[in-house]
Structure 1
Amino acid sequence: MLTKRIIPCLDVDMGRVVKGVNFVNLQDVGDPVAIAEFYNKEGADEIVFLDITATHEGRATMIDVVRRTAKKVFIPLTVGGGIKTVDDFKDILRAGADKISINSAAIRNPQLIKEAADKFGSQCVVVAVDGKKREDGSGWNVFINGGRIDTELDALEWIRKAEELGAGEILLTSMDADGTKQGYDIEFTDAVCKAVNIPVIASGGCGNLQHFADIFKESGADAALAASLFHFRELTISQVKEFLKSNEIEVRL
């Protein structure tokens, strides 16, 4: 059985880690390099950096942040936000990232998934999906632009297509669960896990130790991502892993 991964997520805005609720009231949490180094020492399996504003001015800063972070951490580093072309992939990978996460750009240009997978390998290509349950309860739609635009694409159909095009992993955020601290969206996550044969990272809604155990026991998720829980020291990565181990869930201690 593959070990389950615990992944802290750092939302980076103009070179600083921030945390807000639904992208508003952003609080400065600190320097991304120092925070990533701390999580590396604490036993995180991977780190995800998301450049949440991805302004043109911020791009150079982000590459610098990636470069400085890559020197300090020895676990896989995934970077996303504002990546639109194969050249963007190349620049961020060259700066030291191990994987690239694409979201809106993949929807607008699905061939980007194929081009990047052909050039750099599927293992580098993470397709991030923000999904929300339809009002009639018939399934989930994909949203882009930080959850502001409903593409009206069916999430499961889109994720299957992403896999066919060469995505190596899905980073799945449930907009219904995000920020609630009521637990991961098990129904949505499990539906996605059953739809594809590539790893799925669950994101959105984690509020306590039990939620980590639940997502692994009740869905096929390969990894669980969290942000504010770790940033504000409500839980440590080692606490999460010890708890999972005691619940007979395989983790790397």
Structure 2
Amino acid sequence: MLRPRIIPCLLVHNGGLVKTVEFKDSKYVGDPINAVKIFNEKETDELMVVDIDATKNGCEPNFKMIADLAAECRMPLAYGGGIKTAAQAKRIIGLGVEKVAISSAAITDPSLITRAADEIGSQSVVVVLDINKSASGDAYEVWTHNATRNTKLCPFKMAEEAQALGAGEIVLNSIAHDGKMKGYDLALATAMRARIDLPMTILGGAGSLADLGKLIAACGIVGAAAGSLFVFKGPFRAVLINYPNQQQKDDLIRVALHANTSNH
């Protein structure tokens, strides 16, 4: 039976693990391999790793780093950053990664979604949409290259197109909520849930386990992803890799799914 997933998202910059706020001001928080080892011990549902340099710098994926991460990782691993071809996606899956996350390349050339799905299976193709409000605040728009380029494209239409082209999952990443730890953009999440049938993961803004619960209560079976929540502790943002234990996770999901059923 499908159930909500609670997913740490790790950002890699210059080979180190970092955390950003609104996609800027990256703070070094440690070594990616060490973080993976700790998340292994905590029996994490899934792990997402994004190389935030690759696309911005026009580099291809760092296959050695990906191989090292995949060799260490004991949970399903999704990797994003610099993927521009189906051949690269296939190579990454061959290293032991379960899913490849494509973002700007899928927007520049949507047919990549189909080619990648044909090569590695739809279930392994994740399309990431980095989203911010328009200047007027009355619409959402998709951005690329670490939120430095506004495509002016509608994320809902983009997600529907990605679904039609063979994507297996959509990740919504809220730029305005990134690193703020004040809660997800639930309006965006629920609006997207109403538009697509694919598995969906939401990222950006989680500051507590209660925020994860609110997302699941609003959207039901969804991936609740977070960065800061799982690498920082307390108001001074001391670095501490953490994750709910099985009992905490089960209780949170049970209550949230009950609320979701009651709301619908």
The answer to whether the aligner puts 1:13 opposite 2:19 as a matched pair is: no
Cα distance, 1:59 vs structure 2: 4.9
1:32 & 1:179 partners in 2: Cα distance? 18
Cα distance, 1:222 vs structure 2: 1.0
Correspondences of 1:152-231 after superposition (within 5 Å): 152-220=152-220, 222-231=222-231
Check whether the contact 2:23–2:147 (CA below 8 A) recurs between aligned residues: no
| Percent identity (aligned) | 36
Of residues 168-177 and 11-20 in structure 1, the stretch that sits farther from structure 2 once superposed is: 11-20
Cα distance, 1:149 vs structure 2: 1.2
Correspondences of 1:1-150 after superposition (within 5 Å): 2-54=2-54, 59=60, 62-150=62-150
- List per-residue Cα deviations over 1:142-171 (Å, max 9, x = no partner): 111111111111110111000000000011
2:182 & 2:120 partners in 1: Cα distance? 37
Check whether the contact 2:83–2:102 (CA below 8 A) recurs between aligned residues: yes
Check whether the contact 1:18–1:29 (CA below 8 A) recurs between aligned residues: yes
- List per-residue Cα deviations over 1:174-213 (Å, max 9, x = no partner): 1232222110010101111111110110100111121111
State the number of aligned residues: 249
SS at match of 2:244: helix
2:156 & 2:77 partners in 1: Cα distance? 26
State the partner residue of 1:244. 252
Query: Match for 2:145: what amino acid?
Result: N
RMSD: 2.2
Query: Match for 1:31: what amino acid?
Result: D
1:215 & 1:248 partners in 2: Cα distance? 8
Cα distance, 1:26 vs structure 2: 2.4
Cα distance, 1:136 vs structure 2: 4.1
Of residues 156-165 and 86-95 in structure 1, the stretch that sits farther from structure 2 once superposed is: 86-95
Distance 1:123 1:10, change over 3 A: same
SS at match of 1:238: coil
Cα distance, 1:28 vs structure 2: 2.2
2:109 & 2:226 partners in 1: Cα distance? 28
Check whether the contact 2:214–2:256 (CA below 8 A) recurs between aligned residues: no
Check whether the contact 2:16–2:31 (CA below 8 A) recurs between aligned residues: yes
Of residues 216-225 and 234-243 in structure 1, the stretch that sits farther from structure 2 once superposed is: 234-243
1:101 & 1:115 partners in 2: Cα distance? 14
Of residues 64-73 and 7-16 in structure 1, the stretch that sits farther from structure 2 once superposed is: 64-73
2:162 & 2:26 partners in 1: Cα distance? 31
SS at match of 2:72: coil
Distance 1:138 1:57, change over 3 A: closer
1:26 & 1:154 partners in 2: Cα distance? 27
Distance 1:67 1:139, change over 3 A: same
Task: Give unpaired runs (5+ residues) of structure 1.
Answer: none
Cα distance, 1:40 vs structure 2: 2.0
Of residues 20-29 and 112-121 in structure 1, the stretch that sits farther from structure 2 once superposed is: 20-29
Cα distance, 1:135 vs structure 2: 4.0
